[in-house]
């Protein structure tokens, strides 16, 4: 009996209660998702930025690579953002000197809001494809179709109140996203500032208040973190940053070296997308933070910085990158996904044995 055989394994149909986090933006390639699932954990596709056809194609590609369960993740529908011309111009002025360093002379066009029907169209694909597990973040959405399709449903909470609300909506398990977590904050009730809660405080409080299983997401990079999460009352874990070191992931060598060098240099900021997200502090992030100009509402800020991001990656300019990362990122390991899963399992079992004094 490995101590890793929790109710979450039976719920997800996996050997281990370990989920590779969905990471929208091309990081969670079908190759990564399938390799993780084939290794006995749950791979997740970050589908939020994919159009319906791309989403269907990616699901098909995963299915060609594995017959094990996997997850697809979407963002909840948010109110349409408004791009006020003065705010756009102010942010363009902040970005102009940084863009000039990369040879981008003209300001990037004023972004237009994403299509309002996108989330519904994505959800329809997820239901139609009968994906084994569906997960979501940024709020709540209509779950009937995916529930009828038989998907296991995971919702993201950053506070006890959000976890209670998700249980009321009928999710099968809760991903408790702690303050350490990399990427966007899933917060949807109350203020973002109040919802950056460390995992040690968050997990037991949520576990005490809901009857569905809880998975901790945030800052876990090795088996010690997994054992700690289980000790806190979680029945599983979700790791994002740790999987960005896998060769199957869509991260570039420059992004990986930025993650590895990011010890104690992550912050939660709106500079990247307009929504609070934890990322590595770079000169670009500092320049936007220090300018005192309010970033555009999500996701317009991400659209306004898209060209600059791409050019910085192309030019190998670490100082001008946006790299989403959790607080544990310096412990990233460049291991193939199957090896990372096996290592995490071994380390967790070792940590549990050590605690039991064996
Ligand atoms: C690059 C990156 C992209 C992310 N994209 C998503 C996403 O699309 N959907 C989602 O639910 N969570 C997303 N997250 C958050 C993860 O689900 C998870 O909460 C986080 O990775 C856990 O913290 P860790 O990175 O310290 O392991 C993302 C995280 C990162 C690092």
**Predicted pLDDT of residue 80:** 86
* Residue 233 scores a pLDDT above 50: yes
How confident is residue 76, by pLDDT bands cut at 50, 70 and 90? very high
C-beta 239 within 6 A of ligand 1: yes
Provide the 8-state DSSP code for 335.
-
Atom 30 (ligand 1) nearest CA: 183
C-beta 220 within 6 A of ligand 1: yes
Distance 89 CA to ligand 1 centre (A): 30
The whole-angstrom separation of Cα 56 and Cα 48 is: 12
**Predicted pLDDT of residue 203:** 98
Q: What's the mean pLDDT in 228-248?
A: 98
The whole-angstrom separation of Cα 245 and Cα 239 is: 12
Pocket perturbation via mutation, ligand 1, pick of 23, 180, 196 by most ligand atoms within 8 A of CB: 23
Instruction: Note whether residue 37 is domain-resident.
Output: yes
Please, what is the angle between helix 160-169 and helix 199-209, to 10°? 40
Instruction: Note whether residue 291 is domain-resident.
Output: no
CA of 27, closest atom in ligand 1: 1
Q: What's the mean pLDDT in 65-69?
A: 98
Give how many domains the chain has, as a whole number: 1
The whole-angstrom separation of Cα 199 and Cα 75 is: 22
Atom 13 (ligand 1) nearest CA: 23
C-beta 240 within 6 A of ligand 1: yes
Token pair 């009996």 in the structure block, residue: 1
Distance 181 CA to ligand 1 centre (A): 7
* Three-class SS state of 278: strand
C-beta 222 within 6 A of ligand 1: no
How confident is residue 1, by pLDDT bands cut at 50, 70 and 90? very low
Instruction: Note whether residue 284 is domain-resident.
Output: no
Helix (H) or strand (E) holding 304: helix 300-304
**Predicted pLDDT of residue 253:** 96
**Predicted pLDDT of residue 82:** 86
Range of the domain at 223: 7-80+116-249+331-355
Instruction: Note whether residue 265 is domain-resident.
Output: no
Atom 11 (ligand 1) nearest CA: 137
**Predicted pLDDT of residue 105:** 86
Cα separation values, 67 from 30, 189, 239, 313, 356, Å: 13, 37, 22, 35, 36
Distance 77 CA to ligand 1 centre (A): 18
C-beta 181 within 6 A of ligand 1: yes
* Residue 2 scores a pLDDT above 70: no
The whole-angstrom separation of Cα 358 and Cα 352 is: 9
Sign of CA pseudo-dihedral 219, 222, 227, 230: positive
The tens digit of pLDDT for each residue in 242-253 reads 999 999 999 999
- The mean pLDDT of the chain is 96
CATH number at residue 213: 3.20.20.70
The tens digit of pLDDT for each residue in 143-158 reads 999 999 999 999 999 9
Alpha-carbon dihedral 250, 255, 256, 258, rounded to 10 degrees: -160
Helix (H) or strand (E) holding 286: helix 283-290
Q: Which residues contact 155 (CB under 8 A, 6 or more apart)?
A: 135, 136, 137, 140, 166, 169, 171, 174, 175
CA of 239, closest atom in ligand 1: 27
Neighbours of 289 (CB within 10 A): 15
Q: Which residues contact 354 (CB under 8 A, 6 or more apart)?
A: none
* Residue 119 scores a pLDDT above 50: yes
* Residue 130 scores a pLDDT above 60: yes
Instruction: Note whether residue 76 is domain-resident.
Output: yes
C-beta 331 within 6 A of ligand 1: no
């Amino acid at each position: 009996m490995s101590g890793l055989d929790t109710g979450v394994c039976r719920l997800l149909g996996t050997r281990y209660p370990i989920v590779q986090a969905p990471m929208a933006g091309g990081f969670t390639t079908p190759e990564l998702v399938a390799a993780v699932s084939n290794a006995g954990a749950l791979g997740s596709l970050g589908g939020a930025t994919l159009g319906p056809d791309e989403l269907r194609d990616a699901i098909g590609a995963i299915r060609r690579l594995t017959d094990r369960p996997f997850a697809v993740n979407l963002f909840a529908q948010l109110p349409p953002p408004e791009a006020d011309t003065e705010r756009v111009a102010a942010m363009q002025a902040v970005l102009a000197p940084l863009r000039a360093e990369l040879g981008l002379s003209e300001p990037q066009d004023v972004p237009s809001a994403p299509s309002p029907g996108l989330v519904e169209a994505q959800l329809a694909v997820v239901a139609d494809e009968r994906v084994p597990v569906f997960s979501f973040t940024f709020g709540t959405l209509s779950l009937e179709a995916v529930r009828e399709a038989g998907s296991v449903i995971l919702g993201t909470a950053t506070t006890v109140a959000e976890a209670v609300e998700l249980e009321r909506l009928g999710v099968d398990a809760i991903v408790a996203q702690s303050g350490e977590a990399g990427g966007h904050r899933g917060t949807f009730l109350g203020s973002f500032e109040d919802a950056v809660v460390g995992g040690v405080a968050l997990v037991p409080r949520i576990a005490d208040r809901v009857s569905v299983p809880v998975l901790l997401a945030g800052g876990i990079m090795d088996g010690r973190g997994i054992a700690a999460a289980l000790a806190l009352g979680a029945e599983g874990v979700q790791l994002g940053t740790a999987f960005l070191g896998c060769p199957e992931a869509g991260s570039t060598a420059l992004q990986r070296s930025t993650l590895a060098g990011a010890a104690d240099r992550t912050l939660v900021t709106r500079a990247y997308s307009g929504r609070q997200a934890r990322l590595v502090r770079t000169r670009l992030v500092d320049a936007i933070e220090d300018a005192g100009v309010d970033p555009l509402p999500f996701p317009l800020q991400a659209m306004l910085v898209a060209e600059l991001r791409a050019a910085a990656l192309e030019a190998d300019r670490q100082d001008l990158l946006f790299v989403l990362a959790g607080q544990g990122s310096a412990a990233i390991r460049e291991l193939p996904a199957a090896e990372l899963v096996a290592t995490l399992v071994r380390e967790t079992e070792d940590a549990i044995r050590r605690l039991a004094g064996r």
